Amino acid sequence: MNCPIRSEETVDLLLAYTARRLDPVKSALLERHMDVCPQCAEFRAGQDFVWKALDAWEAPPVTPDFNRRLYQRIEAEAAEPWYVRLFRVPLAGWKPAIPLAAAGLLVFAGFVYDHPVVAPNQPSSGGTVRVSVSEAEQVENTLDDLQLLRQLDSSAAAQPSESM
Amino acid sequence: MGASAALDYDAQLMLRVKDGDGASFTELLEKHRSPVVHFLYRMVQDHAVAEELAQEVFLRVYRSRNTYEPTAKFTTWLFRIATHLALNWLRDGKNERGQERLDDATGDGPVLQVADRNVSVEQKLLYEVRLEEVRRAISTLPEKQRAAVLMHKYEEMEYSQIARVLECSESAVKSLLFRAYETLRVRLAHMA
């Protein structure tokens, strides 16, 4: 027999042996091998010890009202409105929907990116006119020019009477 | 009763629950309550938390009755739910609760009966110390290795079933178990 501890494929034979789950023929073969293989014998001794140590770890008994508490929860859930229960659908049922929803969202985002919505120029409401800063400056300059012309005009009209 | 017969029977019970038979649910609960609670107890090392998680396991089983399909062994499905809940609990509350339980000298495991006159105080103390060493050694294993060891040792599950519960390959389970037992052999060697 080839040494099982040297191969990853057969090392579970040793685990199965210590768990007493190996069939009698294989167990006998392994025992004969362990008689001459110190490595496997050491493995068996160590594993036997772990097995016995784990055997000593008993779990405490289940509390007597376990069923009663469970049935209370079941009844409480049954009394809940349908829309609350709807959100309690087992998660496994939603699993295939999650990647689909993500893919759908991506397609939608791609579409929106490719077709940006251009807002049409809205007509002004309430009689207010939107003007840019440069337009306002232009109007101000024109008004200044008109003011200057008016001043020149009035001074030109006053000069002939003075000369006369 | 063989494994396949047990599979058929549990699955049949679950299908009866699907048809509205409450007694079949009770039967499933009676049969699997202790293994589920004990598995969860050894995973989270807190009895009250283990019972709470076990309640959630059976509640999920009951909620899923209408969509249940016997595609896998019933216990595989049951332990998959239990493992999922335990791993989530450990990942969510590891920092706050992890070490706290281990340092709690009283623990909540079974204790030797003091009334037993053959057990001396020294023996009882020795037993407690050894038990604490085992609990500590198990708790230091990575979560998946811990789950694999507990299913292999206490639930006597086959590699293939553990693989389905943990959603990994059979060879991955063998590797998990081998590494876990190797760690335990080293950690518990001083007790031998």
Tens digit of pLDDT for each residue in B149-186? 999 999 999 999 999 999 999 999 999 999 999 999 99
Q: Supply the pLDDT for residue B105.
A: 43
Number of independent structural domains in chain A: 1
Chain A residues with CB under 8 Å of B41 CB are 59-60
Q: Please give the full DSSP string across A59-85, using - where no structure is assigned.
A: PPPPPTTHHHHHHHHHHHHHTS-HHHH
Q: Which domains does chain B have, with CATH numbers?
A: 3-191 (1.10.1740.10)
pLDDT tens for A118-138 read 655 555 555 555 666 777 788
- Greater confidence (A89 vs A48) lies with A48
Q: Supply the pLDDT for residue A9.
A: 63
Give how far B95 is from chain A: nearest CA, Å.
Answer: 24
Give how far B171 is from chain A: nearest CA, Å.
Answer: 8
End-to-end C-alpha distance for chain A, whole angstroms:
142
Q: Do A11 and B178 touch (CB under 8 A)?
A: yes
Mean pLDDT along residues B92-107: 53
Q: Supply the pLDDT for residue A81.
A: 80
How big is the A-B interface in CB pairs under 8 Å?
A: 101
The answer to which of A24-38, A66-80, B27-41, B115-129 has the lowest mean pLDDT is B115-129
Mean pLDDT along residues A54-82: 92
Asked, for residue A126, whether it belongs to a domain, the answer is: no
The domain of A17 spans 4-55
Tokens 């160590």 identify what position? A46
Asked, for residue A25, whether it belongs to a domain, the answer is: yes
Chain B residues with CB under 8 Å of A11 CB are 174, 178
Q: Supply the pLDDT for residue A11.
A: 74
Asked if B41 and B47 count as a contact pair (C-beta separation under 8 A), the reply is yes
